[in-house]
Amino acid sequence: MSLPRLAYLTGEYPRATDTFIQREVAALRAEGFSIDTFAVRRPGPDHLTGPEQHRGQASTTYLLELARSPALPIAHVTAVLRRPGRYLRALALALRTGRPGIRGSVYQLIYFVEAVLLAQQLLKRRIDHLHNHFGDSSCTVAMLAAEAAGLPFSFTLHGSGIFFEAKSWRLDEKLARASFCACISHFTRSQAAIFAGAEHHDRLHLIHCGVEPHRLASVTHDGQGTRLIFVGRVVEAKGLSDLFDAMGPLVERWPDLTLTVVGDGPDRAALAQQAQRSGLAQQVEFTGTKAQGDVTGLLAAADVFVLPSYAEGVPVVVMEALGAGVPVVATFVGGITELVEDDVTGYLVRPTDADHLADRIARLVEDPALRARLGQAGRSKVEAEFDSRIEARRLATLFVNTAAGRSTPTRPPPLPTTPALDAPAQDART
């Protein structure tokens, strides 16, 4: 079977927060796909937390850096001379789909300039299909580049932030033009369907983000479960304020209760001050961003994972916690309910309800048998539904069927495996 040659695009790559994309790329390469990775900009050094990120950075082409070379004018002159019709259609598409206002128009022209540069690279490297992660600016570049190069493109839609700005990012146009959209959850697919129109619903496919369960140590629960952990962006929308409120009565009952906050974000300083004002300075530790291996180790040392967010897609960190056998307490928002089943793999609580949150955490802290039962059920669910290698084979089916002009079910079957993919996925370029 001849496999299409792929290019992957994101705004920044690789980042410590997007390890699921790196796993996907590695698994597809292990399946036999040739993949060139592109990003608009190089991530900062704080995102390069492990050897995987350093290897990925070394083999990625960065458009903003390439734009500072003669490659930029050469790409545009070549496109005008050799593909004037496509160049003008891409420009017209850019002008028609820009965000409102002068600022939006200026940025749209920048995206067009980047897109033509990317298109030239795609044609030069004989790429067959362009795939993008996320639906905002990098997806705009992907859509324009596909038009300029005359190539098919697709994208993975996450959420939930994109749906707050779906109209300004012209999600409708992207869904109409993409060969397919890989939605990470039923929730994401339902939101995409609002903007896709009924005639394009068959392009919305369900491909989970995934983890590698075989790399996650299974937690053994015994004694009191006083070690809480949160992993994610440190922003108010993650509900950490509610978690601090919930911890007050819990600490009175269990003075040795602790919370490890893993991650970083613009609200870290303010939330750290709130923890101090709440009398939790000794209980709450902010670790900052950690490498994937470090996160795995921290999960293995935890008793309860807590994510009291106000909006979510399907958080990969919840998959990692469940895969490690750590029961989860999370709010029933977005796609979380597709991962956390109440009183089966964890507990679902009402958003912004600190009392409800405290009650469910307390149940797990005091009952090791309950933690063990929910933890084992969570690991089984992740192994069955969120294995990144299997999900990569489902995505591979979409790439192959798109190239062949064949239709694909909403939940694609995994492409038949190869011996290489049965082994843990590695980056084929290292």
pLDDT tens by residue, 148-199:
999 999 999 997 789 999 999 999 999 999 999 999 999 999 999 999 989 9
List the CATH number of the domain containing 79. 3.40.50.2000
Residues 124 and 244 in one domain: no
Please count the structural domains in the chain: 2
Residue 427 lies inside a defined structural domain of this protein: no
**Is residue 421's pLDDT more than 70?**
no
Residues 368 and 415 in one domain: no
> What range does the domain containing 314 cover?
213-385
| Mean pLDDT, range 212-235, rounded to an integer | 90
**Is residue 255's pLDDT more than 70?**
yes
When mean pLDDT is compared across 6-20, 104-118, 354-368, the lowest value belongs to 6-20
Angle at 228 between CA 368 and CA 264, to 5 degrees: 155
Instruction: Report pTM.
Output: 0.86
Residues 188 and 303 in one domain: no
Residues 199 and 243 in one domain: no
Residues 374 and 397 in one domain: no
Residue 429 lies inside a defined structural domain of this protein: no
Residues 190 and 102 in one domain: yes
Residues 6+ apart with CB under 8 A from 22: 14, 52, 53, 56, 427
